[in-house]
Chain A
């Protein structure tokens, strides 16, 4: 772009207008996306920011209240509870997700008979809609009749109460999420496919074993992919909502005061809390403030991850 500007000035006006035409064309192609972004992303974000400074019940016009919503956040027990639940999910769940996806991808890259079938099988769960998947898992994890505990019973292992216990409900949700790891796995699989086979040949000549192949070639070559997946998983982790909501719907009944936070609010994740503040308690101003805070936290976390990436991400050839 820089070059074409000066070039255009020196050359004939006709060429200049052609370049402008190209630009216009490019803009025209971008327009649908730009409009979509403005209408469905930027506008909601900005209005969330605005509403976060108001008291707003979604029906009557909002009234401006300054920073009071933000001030309230820090003395709100539910905020701390939901933040710690989400942090638990991110800190425990995300590394597990990446490790399991990477491990599976490596195994699915082994040259065994029926590899395509295995790849399909492992990818399949990620195509199941999250709501349907969660509903099935609610039954699989049923402490009395569920298949999971049935298996544990056969092996004489302890049988957790899963979704019925505050201690096990988050691990249960992580398990459900791990089951649908397919898309993360596919990206890793593609990443592995991109590693030049010469590297492995070289290490084979040097006499390196499986661990050394992973440690010195596969992992460093996959770090850029891992960075991308890590950031994605952290953002997804903070947004986790569906599984917790489905668990609530399958346990609450008859318009009763069933709380959507799971046993002892152990599944009251940050996004669930935002939803409840807004749609249940009609405090949209406060819910917006929570959402803005989440945005800020995710931005900071992403920046931190990017900051550390220089130390561990290896871009081949640089």
Chain B
């Protein structure tokens, strides 16, 4: 009897163990071929991107067409991922097959060897790299090798509320930083209790964008020739002095923070610019699409980003940011992944997606397509800027992310603690230069 009990107990324990490990067994991800019958087997590949909401739906439509046209491949989409999620998937050994990221998060992944080099694939497929916007392409290169291709690009302009401007008796948007400063203050309104009702411009809304002005002040972030981090250049310090001026006297910092904390969601009708609570904002080419969607009545205008007084030559500076497509180094379906990737940068897919969402296509041929004027005329000033402007971008260095994060915290400290911009930026250099040195000495 005892024996039986023992045997039973052991059996149960074993069953438990089996159950435990069955639960942990690695699921077969990607690479699985279904259909089985051989002749019409389908390879499923996964595509992870950052878009969400309506933009994700528009991208899905483009993916659906690929799936229709390519019966041997099925692309499974995961929307709204983050770069951390993509990173973990790759390093955990169950990667997606095609990924999309913002360029600043990309270079550290390249540096860690996580990304497939694409030069050979591009050549085999007969895709001419020259057809990509050169600055955008360069952001996805390292040591002269191509690791990703741009998927969409962003350029930026000043958006202003025409009604508010009119109310102030102005007809023209501000051309210089001085004019912007003046108009922003005049556009600001308080209610009876002294709380803000409307603000001209708020430097850390919708987020702190450490890259939106330095190029327009003639500054830069990194000197590739000397390997120097240039965060503390006079131009960059001037940017921060200007931004801080929108938080300092005569503004009331605490009340401003309170006002800002009540702002609604960026991608919604509660966006304070759409509601006329903010008069000026620097935004990218996607913004008109949002306005059309959430605030079709808004009377707004688009103008060049103001330049520092007396430096008109800086008017046509274009800050560029790209979304990059890449194939993880350990993807099991690289051939299929590349076929999908090259579809995404074909003129047809580029125009379909970008004109729907309000984005800039990345290829020269698409950028010069007539479809832009016909289907999305609001994109034209942005296209003009990337085609003709002096294009600048945050450097694609492996420490880009940490550099940007440090700039972000620094800017926050300048607004909230009133730290001196020069001192703060010297401190940034002190922190980031060692990372640059490490990289250069490798």
Chain A interface residues toward B at CB < 8 A: 18, 21, 24-25, 28-29, 31-32, 35-36, 57-60, 77, 142-145, 159, 161, 164-166, 252-259, 261, 263-265, 279-282
- List B residues at the A interface (Cβ < 8 Å): 2, 6, 9-10, 13, 16-17, 20, 50, 82-84, 87-88, 90-91, 101-102, 104-105, 108-109, 111-114, 206-210, 254, 257-262, 266, 329, 401-402, 404-405, 407-409, 412-413, 416-417, 431
Q: How far is the CB of A153 from chain B (nearest CB, A)?
A: 11
A253: chain B residues within 8 A (beta carbon): 206-207, 266
| Chain A interface SS verdict (over half) | loop
Query: Of A21, A25, A142, A279, which one neighbours B87 at CB under 8 angstroms?
Result: A279
Which residue of B210, B261, B404 contacts A164 across the interface (Cβ within 8 Å)? B261
Inter-chain CA distance A179–B88, complex, in Å, is 32
Given contacts A257-B210, A261-B409, contact A282 B87 (CB under 8 A): yes
- Closest CB-CB distance, B403 to chain A, in whole Å? 9
Distance in angstroms between the alpha carbons of A258 and B111 in the assembled complex: 22
- With A257-B210, A257-B405, A281-B108 as known contacts, state yes or no: A143 contacts B9, CB within 8 Å: no
- Additional A-B contact list (17), CB under 8 Å, known A28-B9, A29-B13, A256-B209: A24-B6, A31-B13, A32-B16, A35-B17, A57-B112, A58-B87, A59-B112, A144-B258, A252-B207, A255-B83, A258-B207, A265-B409, A279-B88, A280-B84, A280-B402, A280-B405, A281-B401
Instruction: Using A142-B262, A281-B108 as known contacts, say yes or no to A32 and B17 having CB atoms under 8 A apart.
Output: yes
Q: CA A36 – CA B2 in complex, angstroms? A: 28
Q: What residues of A have a CB within 8 angstroms of the CB of B87 in the complex?
A: 58, 279, 282
Q: What A residues does B210 contact at CB under 8 A?
A: 257
Residue of A nearest to B259 (CB): A144
- A258–B206 Cα distance when bound, in Å, is 11
In whole angstroms, how far apart are the Cα atoms of A280 and B404 in the complex?
Answer: 12
Known contacts: A144-B261, A161-B257. The answer to whether A263 contacts B91 by CB under 8 A is: no
Minimum Cβ distance to chain A for residue B290 (Å): 11
**Given known contacts A36-B20, A282-B87, is B413 in contact with A264 (CB within 8 Å)?**
yes
Q: Which 3 A-B pairs have the closest CB atoms?
A: A144-B262, A58-B91, A257-B404
Interchain CB contact under 8 A, B416 and A254: no
Chosen A-B contacts, 29 in total, with CB atoms closer than 8 Å, are: A21-B2, A24-B6, A25-B10, A29-B13, A32-B20, A35-B20, A57-B111, A57-B112, A58-B112, A59-B91, A142-B261, A144-B258, A159-B258, A161-B257, A165-B416, A254-B266, A255-B50, A255-B105, A256-B207, A256-B209, A257-B401, A259-B408, A259-B409, A264-B412, A280-B402, A281-B402, A282-B87, A282-B109, A282-B112
